[in-house]
Chain A
Amino acid sequence: MSDYRACREAYTTTLLTLAQEDPSIIVISSDARGSCSLNTFVETLPDQFVEIGIAEQNEIGVAAGLSVVGKNPFVCAPACFLTARSLEQLKVDVAYSHQNVKVLGVSGGVSYGVLGSSHHTLHDIATLRCIPDLTIILPSDAAQTEAVVRTIAHQKGAFFIRIGREKIPQVYTEELGVKPFTLGKANTLREGDSLTLVSCGELVYHTLEAAKLLSNEGIEARVLDMATLKPFDEEAIIKAAKETGALVTIEEHSINGGLGATVSQIVCANHPVPVKTLAFPDEYLVTGNSLELFAHYGLDAKGIAASVTTFISQVSTL
């Protein structure tokens, strides 16, 4: 398990390093120091931390106010609450008011697995993509998370970053040899011409594993890590449609309005080819931890590979 790392630890460790050099960085949380791995930050830089208590609406409003007076606020709290309870504050106080606020949603997707749908975040891409000027990023591993924090730390603007909870395998290994993150750009993790697999967040790793299984069957898939959900790298998608002729999207999100919907819209408008979306269904999920839920809903490597194989056969008979 030595090469497994938690994104939240990568995030806060990087943020602590940056905040030690920049006193304008203020971290705001809502009784979520533990959930966000913030204890070391609070002990090291207590004057750069603001505890709000369990009050996410106030939390985002306070962050916007801190931005007005010149601070560089980073909100850290569970994604499920930040993207629903305080959605209006995110829209009006942060994005619409053009404030410089970075919002980190931890334990997003189905990270809180067995705690149930109240704690799942499967709506955030759909909801937040409708807010102009809000950048949305779903890192796929700890190295990418660190690169994201370093990239956005001194950019002014409204950002939402969603990461998971558990320690996860590394995507951006030395062996892969790809720069972990460029804002607004897709990363090509694997070349192939049979079709393109497009993913984001924690499912990128499982998608890569699926591509290996598919390769054994003679299907060579291109794999794109679409870490930035907005602004969206349309060119990479159009290029994939033209060069590989079919796409499958894989996301830890509702099947409605997420990565799949975005890719489908772009492909339809620019170079229509078959697109299939793999995501969580529009229903409340069975009980399980995140890996169990990935497997149950066909979003683990085996499930992705099986869906892709079926899709390819359907496409070839068109």
Chain B
Amino acid sequence: MTIQALKQQALEVRKTLLSMIYQAKTGHTGGALSSTDLITALYFEVMHIDPSNPKWEGRDYFILSKGHSVEGYLSALAKRGFFDESLLSTFCQYKSPLIGHPNNKIPGIEMNTGALGHGLSISVGMAIGLKKDKKPNRVFTLMGDGELAEGSVWEAAMAASHYKLDNLIAIVDRNHLQISGSTEDVMGLEPLRERWESFGWQVEEIDGNSMLEVVNALKAAPFKEHKPSLIIANTTKGKGVKEMEDIPSWHHGVPNQHLYEQAMLDFESMEKELQNV
């Protein structure tokens, strides 16, 4: 896909995820919007996958460690063809298979995530297993920045460099906000790059809402032989809906009818702008 087409696709994912949250009257809006470009790039350009055969042995693996951003993930999976897009309208409805966190009963989802700080360990295990079998499959993991306060993340970070897992590419959705406020006020993460480097990772820092930078970084990974790769993707929480951007309360906020309709109009304007480029 071209960068232009990927941007267009990301807009479609944003529209759908916002509709899911609006209809369900629940969701994690801010983080789903901040990570949309990353997930779109992975599923529509970077990862080797076969939506008609989700368990294809040659697939790259993806773990959404920040499981609460499930709305963008489900939207991308449906639009990529893993399941029928009509199912998305049941999100968080009574007896729906689509719950508020990833569930591996859904085609394309490997693991049930949502308890933070688990995804990197799971990914380390997958990467070790693939290396033992000398398989070329890669493992991608998307973590939140607030999630990095979990100690288990650093247990996994240590193990990844110990085992020289250059088939593991982790991404931090660095939107600088968590539910209670700024990450630096809640529990300071900086100097984030140096911390990961000191744990033996090869780190690249990008604008995580620039499709060009996202695709280039993901395609360049692994960044160094015998080292796990980390992408610090600087993003904006609530990206794409001006009224939500950079506001902590939109972590778990649900738009009212007015805001929802305004956001959808804005998305349509952005689409037109993209088409005119």
Q: Which of A50-58, A157-165, A265-273 contacts B (4 or more CB under 8 A)?
A: A50-58
Least CB distance from A64 to B in Å reads 5
Given A68-B122, A93-B122, is A58 in contact with B115 using a C-beta cutoff of 8 Å?
no
> A61–B112 Cα gap in the complex (Å)?
12
- The answer on a CB contact under 8 Å between B126 and A66 is yes
> A71–B135 Cα gap in the complex (Å)?
13
Extra inter-chain contacts (10) besides given A55-B152, A58-B159, CB under 8 Å: A26-B132, A47-B132, A61-B120, A62-B124, A62-B128, A66-B129, A68-B126, A69-B135, A88-B118, A93-B111
B-chain residues with CB within 8 Å of residue A99 when the two chains form the complex: 111
A-B contact pairs, 7 of them (CB 8 A): A58-B156, A61-B125, A64-B122, A65-B127, A88-B118, A96-B112, A98-B104
Closest residue of A by beta carbon distance from B129: A69
Closest residue of B by beta carbon distance from A86: B152
B-chain residues with CB within 8 Å of residue A50 when the two chains form the complex: 128
8 Å CB interface, A243-267 against B: none
Interface size on A, residues (CB 8 A): 29
- The answer on a CB contact under 8 Å between A88 and B115 is yes
Least CB distance from A81 to B in Å reads 13
Closest residue of B by beta carbon distance from A47: B132
Interface size on B, residues (CB 8 A): 32
Least CB distance from B244 to A in Å reads 29
Least CB distance from B67 to A in Å reads 10
A281 within 8 A of B: no
Total A-B pairs, Cβ < 8 A: 101
8 Å CB interface, A52-111 against B: 52-53, 55, 57-58, 60-71, 73, 88-89, 92-93, 96-99
B6 within 8 A of A: no
Q: How would residues 113 to 149 of chain B score, 1 for a CB under 8 Å from any chain A CB and 0 otherwise?
A: 1110110111111111110110101000000000000
Q: Which 4 pairs between the two chains have the least Cβ-Cβ distance?
A: A65-B125, A61-B121, A62-B125, A58-B155
Closest residue of A by beta carbon distance from B121: A61
Least CB distance from B20 to A in Å reads 23
> A194–B164 Cα gap in the complex (Å)?
63
- The answer on a CB contact under 8 Å between B112 and A97 is yes
Closest residue of B by beta carbon distance from A54: B155
- The answer on a CB contact under 8 Å between B124 and A58 is yes
- The answer on a CB contact under 8 Å between B129 and A26 is yes
- The answer on a CB contact under 8 Å between A71 and B121 is no
B158 within 8 A of A: yes
